[in-house]
Amino acid sequence: MALKRVLIANRGEIAVRVIRACRELGIETVAVYSDADARAQHALLADRAVRIGPAAPRESYLNQAAILDAAWSTGADAIHPGYGFLSERAGFARACEDRGIVFIGPPSSAIERMGSKIGARRLMQDAGVPVVPGETPPDQQDASLVAAATRIGFPVLIKPSAGGGGIGMKVVRERVAMLEAIAQARREAEAAFGDGTLYVERLVDRPRHVEVQVLADAHEQTVHLFERECSMQRRHQKVIEESPSPALSSSVRDQMGQAAVSAARAAGYRNAGTVEFLLEGEGDDARFYFLEMNTRLQVEHPVTEMVTGVDLVHAQLRVAAGEPLPWSEQALSQRGHAIECRIYAEDPLQNFLPQAGPLVMYREPQGPGIRVDSGVTEGAEITVHYDPMIAKLIVAGDTREAARRRAVDALRRYAVLGVRTNIPFLIALLEHPAFIQGKVDTGFLDREGDALRAALEPDLPPAAFAAAAAHQPTPAQPIASTVAASRREPAVADPFVSLGEWRSR
């Protein structure tokens, strides 16, 4: 059954990316938007756009009834959830199934199975996939959580059972710090997921985060598309991702790929998903543990696309329509190296506080091997209502070092003004000796972040002040007659200045 019209239940860069993929396959698109997004890229780009509520996510992008109504009223036969928001809500997938709308993702039963960290662990253990020691006290009392942590042995990690994206996760190094961490994790979990159930596990020492992309169709075929390394994280929020991982030997890569396929099969999985592993050590001696399965398309999926040459969203749409996978495992290979940098509207000098404001200038870098997935344009307003990630820069090169240099150069040319971003910080990370050598574990940024940030105070060359002095706010306007009246004389050799009144208004 071919898909005719897909509703994209998301916003920002991922909604834009899915809309484009649909268009390429001849599928009509329906965007949904909140009051804060009426003029956002995704809402303007789709064939149709439906308002679903006020700015607050709970009333718009998390509003299942409004989104299902929008699908019904526009005659959409499928919903793509993107990532975040409703993408991993089994209840939403089931509501789609009940209404005969194709949910472009796994069956609700698979989301449910993998959504519970406890259940997923048990399932993985049974399927022979290695897991990290940990437990979820059934009564969820503070005392039981403390007792569990004591049994497992400190340091431990407290995680929301329902969660993802690092929200509510707390590292606890000693028993005395447990109660405060439990209270905070529970509050954040309840606020973000509406479920405060907590899980405690052993903290693996200096682990790397390596994950495997999988894809399964409805015809008993499951393949993996190799790994992505995402060890560069700030408080469990990924910042830079790459493929291949510099820490994997080919034999461990094969084992991990096989484990990921086993995990997906055990979950009864269909469509695109990611199996996350913690990697301890490197090379042939490395050991890996199942961390969790993300039952959605990931933010960092372009890294896989850049090294394998496939389009994962196309594949998602085909598999959702009941077609077999477009490729076999043997046909897939990794070629070259890809790096993704997440561009966040946050100020590295103010402890990464999320920023809001107008993007008075927004110019993306271009060139061979450079891809920018973004949901904003110059003049757009960044609001506080949603995730501060505004774009992703993905680069590919023959080698890791070629890709790294390409990323640095592209970031230096990426002009984002009006809102502070983490671009200076990303450059510092890519230039750090530990990253250059490929020796970064998931704790790297939390240990080194302060030192890196201290080096970020802008040290502008006098040339930058010269440009600031010469800048004329509206250089494209016919300004010859107004220049004399302005407080600044034109210092810029600008063709429009010399054309003057001759230009039509």
Partner 1 sequence: MSALTIRLGDRVVAARIDGGGGVIIDDTTFTVTAARPGEYVVDDGRRRWHVAVADAGDARWVSVDGQVAVVEVESGTARAPRKKSAAADSMMAPMPATVLKLLVEPGQTVTEGATILVLEAMKMELPIRAPRDGVVRAVHCAQGELVQPGVALVDLE
| Residues taking part in catalysis | 296
Binding footprint of partner 1, residue count (CB under 8 A)? 57
What's the angle, vertex CA 91, arms to CA 314 and CA 313, rounded to 5?
Answer: 5
Among 131, 372, 436, 470, binds partner 1 (CB under 8 A): 470
* Long-range CB contact pairs, 169-173, < 8 A, 24+: 169/235, 169/236, 171/203
491 binds partner 1 (CB under 8 A): yes
When the beta carbons of 434 and 466 are compared against partner 1, the nearer one is: 466
Specify burial of residue 478 (Cβ count, 10 A radius: 0-12, 13-18, 19+).
middle
Q: Alpha helix locations (H) across 230-320?
A: 250-266, 301-308, 312-320
Residues 150-169 that bind partner 1 (CB under 8 A): 167
Q: Which of 274, 269, 272, 275 is nearest to 316 (CA)?
A: 272
Which one of 27-35, 134-142, 146-154, 486-494 is the stretch in contact with partner 1 (CB under 8 A)? 486-494
386 binds partner 1 (CB under 8 A): yes
397 binds partner 1 (CB under 8 A): no
367 binds partner 1 (CB under 8 A): no
Residue for token digits 């780009």?
45
For residue 32, list its beta bridge partners: 50
Query: Least distance (Å) from partner 1 to the CB of residue 459?
Result: 7
* Other beta carbons within 10 Å of 145: 26
Query: Least distance (Å) from partner 1 to the CB of residue 461?
Result: 6
483 binds partner 1 (CB under 8 A): no
471 binds partner 1 (CB under 8 A): yes
Amino acid making up residue 265: R
Residues 296-355 that bind partner 1 (CB under 8 A): 350, 353-355
Task: Please check whether residue 244 is in contact with residue 306, taking contact to mean a CB–CB distance below 8 angstroms.
Answer: no
454 binds partner 1 (CB under 8 A): no
User: Tokens representing 482?
Assistant: 């107004």
427 binds partner 1 (CB under 8 A): yes
Q: At 442, give phi and psi (nearest 5°).
A: -70, -15
When the beta carbons of 244 and 449 are compared against partner 1, the nearer one is: 449
35 binds partner 1 (CB under 8 A): no
Query: Least distance (Å) from partner 1 to the CB of residue 335?
Result: 29
When the beta carbons of 143 and 360 are compared against partner 1, the nearer one is: 360
505 binds partner 1 (CB under 8 A): no
When the beta carbons of 40 and 212 are compared against partner 1, the nearer one is: 40
How distant, in Å, are the alpha carbons of 117, 162, 258, 440 from that of 132? Answer: 12, 18, 18, 20
User: Tokens representing 137?
Assistant: 């006290």
Q: Which of 356, 312, 392, 441 is nearest to 20 (CA)?
A: 312
Question: Rounded CA gap, 117 and 115, in Å?
Answer: 6
480 binds partner 1 (CB under 8 A): no
When the beta carbons of 143 and 467 are compared against partner 1, the nearer one is: 467
When the beta carbons of 226 and 414 are compared against partner 1, the nearer one is: 414
The residue ranges that bind partner 1 (CB under 8 A) are 167, 184, 187-188, 191-192, 350, 353-358, 360-361, 363, 384, 386-388, 411-418, 420-421, 423-424, 427, 458-471, 473, 475-476, 487-489, 491-494
